């Protein structure tokens, strides 16, 4: 028996919109709320059309107050709803830090399971779209040190839709990070129907033998470019793994790949120190120490704020830098 | 503003009923309030003793604030939501929390945050003012579902300085949710007196910025508190939106058993208030004036409550030790592999030692 | 509240002076305001064009809000502090910011946040309302030093929802610092209209919760804005504490050049306002009534401003490219080894490629 | 020539109080502010006596609002003062996250050096004093991923005084974390006069040959205990390094020690994932890969919230667990 799945070529922003629509249709407890998500359809158009289809009781323009948005979402989640709260940019999540850190992530434990916070916090993030300062912050690492939360980062339309639906259905709070640079940079074939991608599972973007390259979000773009080039320039075969979920990380996938290749490189645009790369290194250390043929390398943002946009191209890890690191690893 | 927000009172310090107020509170209801406040006070006093004896850890007393807490909690109905702070055990007890669990709270037990099934009480909020948006959220959810349930949230004078106070009130007012913001103005945030906390003379007036109903009541007059909260709750139930209430009160004791109030205030003020504004004494005076008081009745209450408390203490002390599974249970619905590995390692090392 | 906070006006839409108001503004001052507003408007229009031509990046327009910004900025004196948002370039320009640097801001250049030496302007705040506590802080510092300098902080209607709005006002009022909180209520926070932002009918009334002086002015009447801010500034200077002012205005255009306002409002409202409430047109009418207007004067201003703008654009376009050192300079006083290593690596890879 | 230094035996809380007093005396621009720091002398008595000595203009009781405290401190710092702001507990710093992340740490760069924020944020932290939930959070890692900030953690009175004075004199914002458990747990001889300890420098608490154990704050207590025991139980010599500054980390000290011993163990009480231990591992990987004889080990808190106090002894890394990890490392 074969089933045919209707697919449609979508940008990531369409995949996200589609996931939201499907879940709003399916479950009357699903709500979308945030600044400009209603009438305006979101500053990136992620919620376009939803206000008209579902009305102001389900797709809600809120006051400009991140702590209020998350705080009231916690109350609604504890009382039966499934809020999907948008932070207009990840760099504006900081005022809600207390609500996320002390409540969204802890209410399940604090109430011994009586109250839970099944909610999704969506946030566009990352550099490369020439946005003003703060807008481009990549602070995913902060949220991987926050027990009770899951952190998800899709890199294409297919993953975005499947991971977002899985996040909405997840019984725990999920931070869903949307790399702005991927919103419209490419299209993928996406099933029109509902499907989910299990949280916590990485995706092998490209198989290879000589080095494992770990990345996520928009840095998959630079990474794939670098890998394509270097495979032509050198006699090297690279494995590229998109982690997709940053907490909990896919330990098996990391270990399996490093144990095969013996070398590892991690790419992210956030500052190196305290970045998620360190945790990937820790997982490699814990699982694959004896397999390593060279130190783990990382290519990351500088230990500086993401710069104003005139300098962001210097800031974002370039294919050149990635290639350099691959070479150093392979020739160690 | 003091003129605009006079302190509403029904029973004054001498136990006389304010002739200008229409109240339908019966003697029976007042007696019930007296019982509830006595129960709360006796539990509080006992808890302070338990702490001194090392049978529970640091404890947060509320003596002096019984009218504010009992009067407000009594205005709720089953199914309503309550959001207490660490100091609001008189309120949660009144609303149906388990005395044993309240005591377990001071033993550093998660059970302390767990009310009986069907009683909607959030675990007491520790980060000041963070619970206000939650209350707006649960109320909003009830409104969306079309029920008539309300949310009642407690917070102190100090809490009004936090951003979450403002955001909670603003959301509640914008979405006109059925929430009652119940402030206990006990004059101090640990050592910081109200005049260092705000330039405003009242907390009630802070409702003006949200076009929200707001009022100021004598927080040591249980009748006034009950009446004001009842009115706010009714308004909320019937779609009239949120209310901010300021109940002016006083804590007799220290901020917690780890605090020394003599560092920052003259405790003789508390002694004076015990003789004047005290919420229980006031009802005693009232009931005596109404000839509804007998010493036998009062001591029978005391005995009954004493038994209840002793039983709860026994339950608390016999309660099984916290199991290590409580560390990771309920962090996620299903524990992540990280925690699983960590716990296995932990148990392995412990086992090796044992 | 609308009654309690009437919209103060000095020059009405037809250019007539409100007979009930005592004002000592001279014709010369009004002409100066006109010049400053024209300068701001011409720079704004030019900037929108530069953005369309790709010569600067996303731009935030303020057309329509010139009276609010110019009138308030003009009330400051040298040494005072200004805290703008991304939309307040008419204010910063008036207070002495460099036109070239303002343009560089839209090229993603750090210089955009840097005013000339001796001009105290903070870089425009991006996280909404976060600048209010800063303004309270600089004002507090001046008070501690015993100077008479004040802080003036800009923020929008949307900003009033953030916790920092509340905390900033509360600190300012508790410590009675010389700060003026100047709200530009342009009716929208991106797409969100005021009525979804707050239940209150005015922003001025939010001062009541802090026992703070507060008032509401016609933000398109530069004379009214100037007078109200001047009064608040004088009060602050002389130890009278902070003030909250609401200037009711309107942005004609989009939120930014990346925004499409037709998604959320009828732009014909802007067209109508250009003919009625416009701040420049109003002064033109006033000056004509006063027989102080000549077309020659107006076009000489235009010419002068045009030259200034063209010169600034040239400077902006000839400005040297951002050096990579700007990435790490000034992150710390002395760069940490982490950054040093990262930059060395970066330059090595670049060098290898070059 | 010899100079005699007057010393006094002090607890850490006395060392902190002494540092504050000296700096308030020396520099009229130094201010102390926070909740209950004035009349009350601080909930841990860190500011005892200062209000009486310096008055309410220099030692300031603020409203209960962390964002307001940090935000106004930024304004005062930019305008010539040196505020020392107390967060009553580190777990209550979250409402100020936005002010720290987007302003205190960035104002120097955003204004190209025109405005700076020379301020210290003091915060008691860590488990083990039977405090209510949130009070015991150990979230130092979050602040090591925040360019513009330095993060300092003393473990005894001598370091506390010298590091706090250095922090107050530092031209950049410093987060000064005070392990509550160390406040009164021991005494050290502390010079009565002013002295500083350079930020960014670790301290070798004990030299050894077979393994490098890195830790900081209150975990130095468990670590020293474990090391003492294991050196008796096994034929092993352990080097213990107290990092003292978590950002920027003392790379030289870490590398020198690991290159000597060939083995490393990191101890902290914060959750393992995303903890500072990962960054120490990264530094070891980057500097000392070829010297490593076994995987780097870590003993940390669980990936859970710090529990309510009935379970905190299970949560805090025990000497038993530390010994176990040392054995595993040495016998690898
Ligand atoms: C966000 C936050 N900051 C600081 C504290 C520490 N703290 C606990 S109680 C308290 C005072 C609270 O005063 P108030 O709101 O008046 O309530 P009360 O204790 O008087 O009932 C403070 C500062 C906290 N729990 N949360
Ligand atoms: C903390 C924060 N949240 C969200 C944003 C995104 N944002 C930028 S401008 C804006 C609307 C601001 O409205 P208002 O305060 O009325 O000022 P206006 O833009 O009208 O001048 C929003 C939501 C931000 N910059 N900061
Ligand atoms: Mg209080
Ligand atoms: Mg606006």
Grouped pLDDT means (10 residues each) for chain D, 332 residues: 84 98 98 98 98 98 98 98 98 98 98 98 97 97 98 98 98 98 96 98 98 98 98 95 98 98 98 98 98 98 97 96 97 94
Give pLDDT, residue C24. 86
Whether residue B109 is found in the same domain as residue B61: yes
Cβ of A309 within 8 Å of Cβ of C57? The answer is: yes
Q: Given B114, B132, B331, which is nearest A114 (Cβ)?
A: B114
User: CA torsion sign, D301 to D304 to D308 to D311?
Assistant: negative
Same-domain pairing of C35 and C136: yes
Q: Which residue of A has its CA nearest to C164?
A: A95
Please tell me the predicted confidence (pLDDT) of residue A1.
57
Whether A310 has its CB under 8 Å from any CB of chain C: the answer is yes
Report the pLDDT value the prediction gives residue B26, as an integer from 0 to 100.
Answer: 95
Pair C7, C215: CB distance under 8 Å = no
In a shared domain, residues C287 and C339: no
Chain D residues within an 8 Å CB radius of B343: 302
Task: Select from D79, D115, D248 the Cβ nearest to the Cβ of C338.
Answer: D248
The position carrying tokens 């640079």 is A181
- pLDDT one-digit tens code per residue, A4-15: 889 999 999 999
Under the banding of pLDDT at 50, 70 and 90, the label for residue B23 is: confident
Q: What is the pLDDT of residue B53?
A: 98
Q: Are residues A308 and A275 in contact, defined by beta-carbon separation less than 8 angstroms?
A: no
Catalytic-labelled residue, pool C97, C255, C273, C285: C255
- Torsion, Cα C178 C180 C181 C182, to 10 degrees, reads -170
Query: Which residues have any ligand 2 atom within 6 Å of their CB?
Result: A 35, 64, 66, 88, 92, 95; C 87, 126-128, 156-159, 186, 188-190, 255
Residue B4 predicted with pLDDT over 60: yes
Q: Are B114 and A200 inside 8 Å of each other by CB?
A: no
Residue B352: its pLDDT value, please?
Answer: 67
In angstroms, what is the span from residue B191 Cα to ligand 1's centroid? 10
Count of helices and strands (H, E) across chain B? 13, 9
Lookup result for tokens 């839709």: A161
Ligand 1: which atom is nearest the Cα of residue D94?
1
Of B163, B164, B143, the C-alpha closest to B153 is B164
Beta strand pairing call for C81-83 and C120-121 = parallel
**CATH assignment of D7-191?**
3.40.50.970
Least Cα distance to A286 among D304, B344, D298, B335 occurs for: D298
**Number of domains forming the structure of chain B:** 2
Q: What is the model's pLDDT at position B351?
A: 85
For residue D72, the chain C residues in CB contact (below 8 A) are 133-134, 136-137, 140, 168, 171
C1: in domain: no
Question: Residue B2: inside a domain, yes or no?
Answer: no
Query: What is the count of residue pairs from C and D with beta carbons less than 8 Å apart?
Result: 130
Spacing, Cα A91 to ligand 4 middle (Å) = 20
The position carrying tokens 């991987």 is: A144
Q: List the residue whose alpha carbon is closest to atom 26 of ligand 1.
A: B127
- CA D12 to CA D162: how far, in whole Å? 11
Q: Where in chain D is the domain with CATH 3.40.50.970?
A: 7-191
Q: Dump pLDDT digits (tens) for B223-237.
A: 999 999 999 999 999
Within an 8 Å CB–CB cutoff, is residue D91 touching chain B? Answer: yes
Instruction: Reply yes or no: is the peptide bond before residue B86 cis, omega within 30 of 0.
Output: no
Name chain C's partners: 3 or more CB pairs within 8 A: A, B, D
Residues of D in contact with B126 (CB under 8 A): 91, 132-135
Has residue B63 been placed in a domain?
Answer: yes
**CA-based nearest distance D170→chain C, Å:** 9
What is the arithmetic mean of pLDDT over B79-104? 98
pLDDT of residue C1: 78
Tell me which fold the domain A203-330 belongs to.
Rossmann fold (3.40.50)
Task: Residue A290: count other Cβ atoms within 10 Å of its Cβ.
Answer: 10
Q: In chain B, what percentage of residues exceed pLDDT 90?
A: 96
Which residue in D135, D145, D268, D324 is the catalytic one?
A: D135
The yes-or-no verdict on residue B30 having pLDDT over 50 is yes
The reply to whether residue B126 touches residue D134, judged by beta carbons under 8 angstroms, is yes
Inter-chain CB pairs, A–C, below 8 Å: 116
Where in chain A is CATH 3.40.50.920? 203-330
Tell whether B1 is covered by a domain. no
Pick the residue of B132, B158, B199 with the most C CBs within 10 A to test the interface with C by mutation: B199
Min distance B70 CA to chain D CA atoms (Å): 24
Under-70 pLDDT residues of chain C = 352-354
Is residue B190 predicted with pLDDT exceeding 80?
Answer: yes
Mark whether C243 and C102 lie in a shared domain: yes
- Kindly report whether the peptide bond that precedes residue B335 is cis, defined as omega within 30 degrees of 0: no
- What was the pLDDT predicted at B286? 97
pTM of the predicted structure, to 2 decimals = 0.98
Shortest distance, CA A231 to any CA of chain D (angstroms): 25
Residue range B30-35: average pLDDT?
98
pLDDT, residue B344, reads 94
Catalytic: A135?
A: yes
Instruction: Give CA–CA dist B342/D321, Å, rounded.
Output: 11
CA distance C123 to C110: 9
Task: Indicate whether B80 and B180 sit together in one domain.
Answer: yes
Q: What is the CATH number of the domain that holds B317?
A: 3.40.50.970
B182 plus B166 within the same structural domain: yes
Say what the pLDDT of residue A5 is: 87
Residue C333: phi, psi to the nearest 5?
Answer: -55, -50
Q: Are residues C149 and C102 in the same domain?
A: yes
Q: Token pair of D281, please?
A: 């591992």
B121 lies in the same domain as B61: yes
pLDDT of residue B209: 98
Q: Which residue has the tokens 């990070």?
A: A177
Spacing of C-alpha B142 from chain mean position: 22
Q: D92, D124, D135: which to mutate for ligand 1, most atoms within 8 A of CB?
A: D92
Tokens of C95: 């207070």
The rounded distance, in Å, linking the Cα atoms of A206 and D189 is: 60
Find the residue in B nearest to A64 (Cα).
B167
Contact criterion met (CB < 8 Å) for A109 and B144 = no
Residue among B190, B192, B194 to mutate when testing ligand 1 (max atoms within 8 A of CB) = B190
Task: Tell me which residue range forms the domain holding B254.
Answer: 7-322
Q: Do C199 and B167 touch (CB under 8 A)?
A: no
* Same domain as B277, residue B135: yes
Taking an 8 Å cut-off on Cβ atoms, the answer to whether A111 and B170 are in contact is: no
What ligand has the least distance to the C-alpha of B127? 1
Asked whether D97 lines ligand 1 (CB < 6 A), one says: no
The reply to whether C221 and C349 lie within a common domain is no
Where in chain D does DSSP place strands (E)? 7-11, 30-34, 59-61, 82-86, 120-125, 150-152, 174-179, 187-191, 203-206, 211-215, 238-242, 245-247, 264-271, 297-301
Catalytic, out of C251, C273, C282, C285: C251
Chain B residue whose CA is closest to D273:
B338
Q: Do D64 and B159 touch (CB under 8 A)?
A: yes
C106 is written with which tokens?
Answer: 């839209």
Residues C328 and C313 grouped into a single domain: no
| DSSP run (H or E) holding D283 | helix D276-288
Whether chain B has a CB inside 8 Å of the CB on A75: the answer is yes
Give residue B25's pLDDT.
Answer: 93
**Catalytic one among B87, B251, B273, B285?**
B251
Task: Supply the pLDDT for residue D2.
Answer: 66
C-alpha B261 to ligand 3 mean position (Å): 13
Beta strands, E only, chain C: 81-83, 120-121, 151-156, 179-185, 188-189, 192-193, 213-218, 243-248
Mean confidence (pLDDT) of chain A: 97
Q: Return d(Cα C301, Cα A299) in angstroms, integer.
A: 54
Quick check: ipTM above 0.95?
yes
**Which of D267, D197, D218 has its CA nearest to residue D238?**
D267
Closest Cα to atom 26, ligand 2: which residue? Answer: C127
Residue B354 confidence (pLDDT)? 45
**What is the C-alpha separation between C266 and C269, in angstroms, rounded?**
6
Residue B198: per-residue pLDDT: 98
Mutation target to probe the D interface, by most D beta carbons within 10 A, among C122, C124, C327, C341 is: C122
Tell me the two tokens of residue A307: 């710069």
Mean pLDDT of A160-188: 98
Beta-carbon contacts of C180 under 8 Å, excluding residues fewer than 6 positions away, are C72, C150, C151, C152, C153, C229, C232, C233, C236, C242, C243, C245
Q: Are residues D50 and D17 in contact, defined by beta-carbon separation less than 8 angstroms?
A: yes
Q: How far apart are CA A198 and CA A82, in angstroms?
A: 19
User: What letters, b where the CB count within 10 A reaches 16 and e where it falls short, cover D274-285?
Assistant: bbbbbbbbbbbb
Q: Which residue of D has its CA nearest to C117?
A: D114
Whether pLDDT at B145 is above 60:
yes
Which atom in ligand 1 lies closest to the alpha carbon of residue B85? Answer: 21
Confidence of residue B260 (pLDDT cuts 50, 70, 90): very high
Question: In the structure, what pLDDT confidence band is assigned to residue B2 with cuts at 50, 70 and 90?
Answer: confident
Chains touching B (3+ CB pairs < 8 Å): A, C, D
What is the model's pLDDT at position B353?
Answer: 53
Measured distance CA(B337)–CA(D302) in Å, rounded = 11
Q: What is the mean pLDDT of residues B128-149?
A: 98
Distance from CA of C116 to the nearest CA of D (A): 10
DSSP D62: -
CA of B93 to the centre of ligand 4 (A): 46
Task: For chains B and D, count residue pairs whose Cβ atoms are closer than 8 Å.
Answer: 117
CA–centroid distance, residue B162 to ligand 3 (Å):
13
Residue owning tokens 């002010």: D99
Give yes or no: residues C216 and C337 share one domain.
no
């Amino acid at each position: 028996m074969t089933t045919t799945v209707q697919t449609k070529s979508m940008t990531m922003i369409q995949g996200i919109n589609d996931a939201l629509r499907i879940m709003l249709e399916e479950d009357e407890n699903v709500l979308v709320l945030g600044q400009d998500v209603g009438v305006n359809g979101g500053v990136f158009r992620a919620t376009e059309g939803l206000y008209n289809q579902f009305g102001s009781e389900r797709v809600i323009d809120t006051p400009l107050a991140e702590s209020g948005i998350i705080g009231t979402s916690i109350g609604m989640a504890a009382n039966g709803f499934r809020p999907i709260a948008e932070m207009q940019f990840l760099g504006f999540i900081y005022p809600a830090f207390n609500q996320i850190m002390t409540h969204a992530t802890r209410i399940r434990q604090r109430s011994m399971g009586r109250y839970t916070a099944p909610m999704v916090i969506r946030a566009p993030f990352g550099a490369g779209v020439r946005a003003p300062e703060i807008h481009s912050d990549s602070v995913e690492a902060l949220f991987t040190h926050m027990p009770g939360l899951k952190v998800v980062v899709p890199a294409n339309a297919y993953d975005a839709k499947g991971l977002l639906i899985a996040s909405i259905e997840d019984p725990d709070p999920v931070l869903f990070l949307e790399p702005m640079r991927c919103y419209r940079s490419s299209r993928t074939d996406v099933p029109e129907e509902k499907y989910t991608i299990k949280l916590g599972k990485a995706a092998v973007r490209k198989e290879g033998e000589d080095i494992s390259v770990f990345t996520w979000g928009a840095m998959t773009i630079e990474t794939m470019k670098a890998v394509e080039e270097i495979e032509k320039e050198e006699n090297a075969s690279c494995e590229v793994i998109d982690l997709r979920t940053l907490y909990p990380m896919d330990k098996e996938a990391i270990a399996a790949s490093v144990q095969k290749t013996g070398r590892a490189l991690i790419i992210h645009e956030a500052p190196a120190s305290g970045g998620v790369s360190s945790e990937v290194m820790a997982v490699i250390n814990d699982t694959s120490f004896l397999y390593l043929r060279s130190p783990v390398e990382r290519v990351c943002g500088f230990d500086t704020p993401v710069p104003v946009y005139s300098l962001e191209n210097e800031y974002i890890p370039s294919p050149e830098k990635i290639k350099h690191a691959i070479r150093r690893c392979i020739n160690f | 503003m003091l003129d605009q927000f006079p302190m509403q009172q029904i029973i004054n310090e001498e136990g006389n009923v304010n002739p200008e107020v229409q109240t339908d509170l019966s003697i029976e209801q007042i007696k019930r309030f007296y019982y509830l406040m006595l129960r709360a006070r006796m539990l509080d006093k006992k808890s302070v003793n338990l702490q001194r004896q090392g049978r529970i850890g640091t404890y947060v007393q509320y003596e002096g604030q019984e009218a504010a807490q009992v009067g407000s909690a009594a205005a709720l109905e089953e199914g309503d939501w309550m959001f207490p702070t660490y100091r609001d055990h008189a309120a949660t007890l009144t609303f149906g929390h388990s005395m044993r669990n309240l005591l377990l709270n001071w033993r550093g037990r998660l059970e302390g945050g767990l009310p009986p099934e069907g009683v909607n009480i959030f675990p007491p909020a520790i980060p000041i003012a963070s619970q206000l948006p939650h209350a707006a959220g649960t109320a909003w959810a009830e409104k969306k579902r079309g029920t008539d349930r309300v949310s009642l949230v407690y917070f102190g004078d100090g809490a009004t300085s936090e951003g979450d106070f403002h955001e909670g009130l603003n959301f509640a007012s914008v979405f006109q949710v059925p929430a009652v913001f119940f402030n206990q103005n006990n004059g101090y945030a640990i050592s910081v007196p109200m005049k260092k906390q705000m330039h405003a003379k009242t907390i009630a007036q802070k409702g003006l910025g949200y076009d929200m109903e707001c009022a100021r009541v004598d927080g040591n007059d249980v009748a006034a508190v009950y009446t004001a909260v009842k009115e706010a709750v009714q308004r909320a139930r019937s779609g009239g939106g949120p209310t901010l209430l300021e109940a002016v009160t006083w804590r007799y004791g220290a901020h917690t058993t780890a605090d020394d109030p003599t560092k920052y205030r003259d405790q003789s003020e508390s002694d004076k208030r015990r003789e004047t504004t005290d919420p229980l004494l006031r009802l005693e005076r009232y009931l005596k004036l109404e000839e509804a008081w007998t010493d036998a009745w009062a001591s029978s209450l005391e005995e009954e409550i004493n038994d209840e408390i002793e039983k709860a203490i026994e339950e608390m002390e016999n309660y099984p030790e916290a199991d290590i599974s409580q560390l990771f249970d309920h962090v996620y619905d299903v524990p992540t592999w990280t925690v699983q590995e960590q716990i296995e390692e932990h148990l392995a090392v412990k086992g090796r030692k044992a």
